[in-house]
Chain A
C-alpha cells in the first residue's frame, strides 16, 4: 500500500468528525459501554426472549445427566426411592418416628417430605454451581446469565415431576384415597418453584464469586433438613421450647412447603386427631406465598445486580 509514510493514524476520526475525542465520538454514534448491565425491564425482556434456550438447555442437561449410567433415565426414579428406603429404615424402623401415624401411612408421609425437601436442596446445590460450571458457555456467548440458574430450576422441576409419579403410587399403596385436596398440589408446587428459583439465583451469584461456598453447602443443607422435620414433625418436638423457636420452625420455608404438600396429598395422615400441632393452619398458605414471591423477587434483583460480572476475571 502507498500509505507507509502517511502521518494520519487509521484511528483518527475523519471528515466532519475530525477533532472529536474518543469519548465524544462514542457519544455521537450512540456507542454503549461494553458489557454494561441492562436495566431491569430490558433484562427481563431479554430473558423472556431466551425462554426457548432455557427450556432446551434444561431438557438437554436432564438427558445428558445419566448418559454414562447403564440404567440411564431409570436413576431418576431409583434415586428418590433409595433415599426414602434409607430414611424409612433409620427413622421409621430403628428410631420409630412413626408413632402416632395410622398404620402403613408413615412411609407416604416420609416420602412426600423427602421429595419436597430435595427439590429445594437440589435447587440450592445446582444454583451454587450454575455459573462456575458453565464458564465456557458464558465466555463464548452473550445471553442473560439468569437463564442458567433458572434452567437448573426447570431441571429440578422436571425431576420432581418424575418423583411425583413414584409418590402418587406410594400414597395410593398406603391406602390413602385421592381427594379434592390433590388439586392443591399444583399451587403448592408453583409457590415452591418460585421460592427455589429465587434461592437458586441468590446462590448462583454467591457461588460465582466465592467458590468456597460449594464446600459449605452440603453441611448447611443437612442441618436445614434435620431442622425442617423431613422425617419427624418438628412442630411436635419444639412445642415445649421458647416461643421464638416455635415461630422460626413455623416460618421455615422448607417446613411450610412440606406442610402444604403433605396436607394436599394426604389430609388423613396430616391431621391425626390426637395431635393438634399437625393441623394445617390457613396462614401456612400465606407463608408459602410470601416466601415464594418474596424470594423470587429478591433473588432476581440480587442476581441481576451483578450481571456484568459473571464470567469475568
Chain B
C-alpha cells in the first residue's frame, strides 16, 4: 500500500517526469447499429452494410453511444468511470477491451486488456471447480500453473465459506457468488490493463475488502485498472483519478475527490 501511495503522489504532483502510457483513447466515436428482426446482415463489409442500411429505413437504427472521447491512462493508475445510466461508461470499457469496433478514432493499449463484468457469465452448467480450471486455461496458464493457483483462487472467492459450493454447477450460485468467482479467476493472472464493470458492487463487505487489496496489488505489478461503478465510495477508495462521462461525452477528467464531489453535487464544469 505504501508503495502505491508514493507512486500515486509522484504521478499527480511531479509534472516533469515522463510516464508510461498503457491506454491511449484518441477521439473515439462508437456507434451501435441495432438490427431489427429479420434484417441481420453480416457486418464484415461494413461499408456495404452502411450503404444498405441507409436505403433500408426500417431495418437499422443507429445509436451514437460515445461521441469523441479522448484520454490517456498511465502505468500504475486506477481510474474510475462515473456517469448516469446509459451515459456510455460500459460501452467505453468494452471498446477499450477490444470488444466493440470504433466508428472513428483509435484505442491503443499495452497488451490485451481484460474486461471483467457482472454480466459476463462463464459456463453455467459446469461446476465452479471446472470453471476455475477452464477460465485459467483460457487465459493461457499452463496446467501446472492452474494446479498451483487453484487453492488460492477458491479461497479468495470465498465460495466455500458456507459449505462445499465449488463442486456445484455455477447455475446454482447466487449472482453475488458468480461475480465473486469470476473476479477471482480473472484476478488470478496479472493483467497489464484490467477493466472492471461494477463487479465490486455485488460482493459482500469482506469480499469487497479483499478485492480492493487485490486491485492494489495488480496496480503495484505495473498494471492499470479501470473501474465502472455507481458506488461512489468504492470509486473513492480504489481510484485516485476519475473520468466523468455523460451522454457519450467526457465532462471531466481529474482527481477523484474533485470529480466525484462535483458529480454528486451535479455541478458540470
Contacts and interface: CB of A to CB of B under 8 A. Distances in A.
Interface of A: 1, 3-4, 8-17, 21-23, 25-26, 29-36, 46, 49-50, 52-53, 56-57, 60-61, 64, 67, 134, 136-137, 139-143, 147, 209-212, 306, 308-309, 311-313
A211 to B, nearest CB: 7
Contact of A137 (B43, B99, B106, B138): B138
Q: Please indicate which of the listed interface residues A4, A22, A34, A142 has the most CB atoms of chain B within 10 Å of its own CB.
A: A34
A49 B140 contact: yes
B229 to A, nearest CB: 18
A182 to B, nearest CB: 34
Interface of B: 12-27, 32-33, 38, 40, 42-44, 70-73, 94-101, 106-110, 112-117, 119-126, 130, 133-135, 137-140, 142-143, 169, 182, 186, 241, 253-255, 257-258
Nearest to A12: B72
A211 B257 contact: no
B117 A34 contact: no
A311 B99 contact: yes
Nearest to B193: A34
Contact of B122 (A8, A136, A209): A136
A143 B258 CA distance: 38
Contact of B254 (A3, A26, A209, A311): A3
Contacts of B96: 34
Nearest to A211: B40
Contact of A67 (B44, B97, B125): B125
Contacts of B258: 1, 3-4
Contacts of A49: 140
23 contacts: A1-B12, A11-B73, A12-B72, A13-B21, A13-B72, A14-B19, A15-B18, A33-B109, A34-B97, A34-B98, A35-B98, A35-B101, A53-B134, A60-B134, A67-B125, A136-B119, A136-B120, A136-B122, A140-B115, A141-B135, A141-B138, A141-B186, A143-B139
A143 B138 contact: yes
Contact of A1 (B73, B112, B113, B257): B257
B44 A209 contact: yes
A151 to B, nearest CB: 10
B255 A52 contact: no
Nearest to A29: B21
A4 B113 CA distance: 30
* 10 nearest A-B pairs in the assembled complex, by CB-CB distance: A35-B98, A15-B18, A26-B108, A140-B120, A53-B137, A31-B108, A136-B121, A22-B26, A34-B98, A209-B42
Contact of A309 (B44, B143, B257): B44
Contacts of A11: 70-73, 253
A232 to B, nearest CB: 38
A245 B146 CA distance: 54
B145 to A, nearest CB: 10
Contacts of B113: 34
A139 B24 contact: no
B114 A141 contact: yes
Contacts of A57: 134, 137-138
A20 B78 CA distance: 23
A68 to B, nearest CB: 9
B123 A31 contact: no
